[in-house]
Amino acid sequence: MNCRNRKITAAVSALIAVLIVFAAVAPSIVGEAEEPVQEAPALGFAVTTIMVVFFVMGAVTGYAIHEAYDKLTEKGTGDTDSYVRGEETKAVAQSILSGLAYYDNALANYSQIWPLTNEHHIRQAEITSAYNWGKDLTYDPSLILDSSGFYTNASYMLRNAAAQVNSHFDNLNERIQIWNGTDTYRNMMNVEISYGLDSISSKSSAQTYVGTAVDATSAKNKVYITGGDIWVFGGSAVISSDAARLTLNEGRNSLDSMSGFSEGVYTLQSGRSYAGGILPVVDANAAAVMTSLVLKAGNDVKLAKLTSQGIIVDDVVRDKISITIHPDGAESKSVDITELMTDYDELLKTIRVSITKASNAAATVWNIFDKAGEANFYLTTLMMPDNYDNISITQEQQEILTVLAMEQLSDYYSKNDQKIKTGDYSFSKESLTLYVRGDLYTSTGDKLYENVIFTPFVYGQNFNLNIGKNTLNQPGIMAVWSTEGTPLSSWNAAANMNDASLVNMSENCMLDVYEMYYDNAPSSSVSLEVTKLKLINSSEFPDPDPTDSVPGGGLTLEQIVKLICIIAGLLMIIGGLLARFNWTLIIAGAVIIIGGLLLAGPILGLARFL
């Protein structure tokens, strides 16, 4: 109990003690005012004895109430501030536990949902393979997966998955700053991050960051990086891509704020460890990417890596990672966060499988192009499903199955081409979100089509289409609906199969747009936005004020005042009854009980004043 509450309770107890003393001596005082009554000595002695007993009982009850209040409100800590720190510690530890439970569920869902995107990424990789194929070129998996947007999507998936839980632990660090701004907590809350038998701790700051890590060697040093924070261990380091060369400091580096940074495949300086949003690549020099936790307490920083041997910190295998909050004068609380690494590792494994599938599919069609001597945009391995979780198909097997499927498809078309290509297809132009009238040119400036109505399709990156000349920044397909050159306002949108066609166009080809309709209205500019993942800013966690008072659970001061008044009043009533129905004492006792119940607040105010 703090000093102020002790004074208040003592003052109230003193006021009530006066009433109890009065209850003990009142019978003799009243008796002197009345006519003398002859009493047997034994009876007088008995009455006196009973009154003494009641006096002692009242004193003991008052002392018990006083001590009970101490114990109920102080929980045995002997100091209210210590108890408050203990309650705050329990609340923060429970918050971490709850956050980890939500995150465990979210990661399990991510790991199940992501494989359902495999077909999309496989098709993107196959299209990119067709456009990059050449007779004298060798298949480059990183070029294909980067150009198709797959590396970016996979990297964003990992970074988005890490962002929310990292924000949750940022909240713990912010909590420490709030603690150090109050007298109750300042330098009295030590946060310890343990890894096996060793630990780092601080009263000023503590954070953890989940992500991926690599130990770069001279032979295994390539990864994909889209930005965010990169931690370097072992000294400063140089990383380079085809477009950038950056020097990173030991510790934390914000790539997004570094001049010249652009996402891509990076070669990492060997002899260093790196952690952050790092994606594995398909390359002969690809670095081994592991799930990691960066542990930071004060100025101490450690890197925990999840390997096949277990969790490695400082080249030693550790059994677990935990966070413990040590409040001065109260019980410490510990939270095991090891599962955070294993949950995130499941997502990393799932994405690694997707990378392999997309690369194998792109390599398969590339090999077929090599044998055929030409590429075809429409060739796909998806004609044969590969949806097993427990059965894998090699690239060679996939190539055989794809060729056999093409054989079946070719036979199907040769038998039914006249039935399915009837020339009477039609649709309303309202069903087309975008249709354009203009000319199509090759990359060398030769005119392919003049005054045709078409819809452009691109797949790699966003493309802005405007009235006038537009140069493609990527390969695309133009679905030509009509070659009649009819103004869009009067076009009846009847597409004859003998007139319609698909036109493959490479990067740097040109579209000369006369007019276009978007969402059934004339438009001068349209942005073609390719479907892809976007980085999500993690939600800000609420940051309520720390516990600063003892919550309910013990008797309040007002309740104690009422209880003492009831006991004192009962003692006076009993004394009055024993004193041959002394109505003065009986009425006074009743008044004290009623007054205590109704006026406990004012009595407490008087005690505070005293």
What is the phi/psi pair of residue 350, to 5°? -65, -45
Count CB atoms within 10 A of the CB of residue 20.
22
Helix axis angle for 118-132 and 150-179, nearest 10°, is: 130
Q: In this structure, which amino acid lies at residue 84?
A: V
Instruction: Provide the pLDDT for residue 533.
Output: 85
Q: Which helix (H) or strand (E) holds 358?
A: helix 338-372
Mean residue pLDDT of the chain comes to 85
Instruction: Provide the pLDDT for residue 51.
Output: 56
The CA distance from 195 to 176, in Å, is: 21
Report the predicted TM-score, pTM, of the whole model to 2 decimal places. 0.77
Alpha helix (H) residue ranges in 36-136: 41-74, 80-113, 118-132
Instruction: Provide the pLDDT for residue 78.
Output: 41
Cβ-Cβ contacts under 8 Å for 36 (sequence gap 6 or more): none
Q: In this structure, which amino acid lies at residue 425?
A: Y
Rg (CA), the chain: 41
**Pairing state between β 510-518 and 237-240:** unpaired
Gap between the terminal Cα atoms of the chain: 19
Instruction: Provide the pLDDT for residue 29.
Output: 42
Cβ-Cβ contacts under 8 Å for 420 (sequence gap 6 or more): 413
Residue written as token pair 């003990």: 24
For residue 583, the cross-strand partners are none
**Pairing state between β 447-458 and 463-466:** unpaired
For the chain, how many helices (H) and strands (E)? 10, 24
pLDDT, one tens digit per residue, over 46-79 is 555 555 555 655 665 565 455 445 544 444 434 5
Query: Tokens at residue 434, please?
Result: 């975008």
Instruction: Provide the pLDDT for residue 592.
Output: 86
Q: In this structure, which amino acid lies at residue 49?
A: T
Instruction: Provide the pLDDT for residue 385.
Output: 78
Instruction: Provide the pLDDT for residue 469.
Output: 97
pLDDT, one tens digit per residue, over 468-504 is 999 999 889 999 988 888 899 888 776 566 778 899 9
- Which parts of the chain sit beneath pLDDT 50? 1-5, 7-8, 12, 15, 22-40, 64, 67-68, 71-78, 553
Closest CA to 363 of 126, 185, 113, 120: 126
563-579 in b/e form (b: 16+ CB < 10 A) is: bbbbbbbbbbbbbbebb
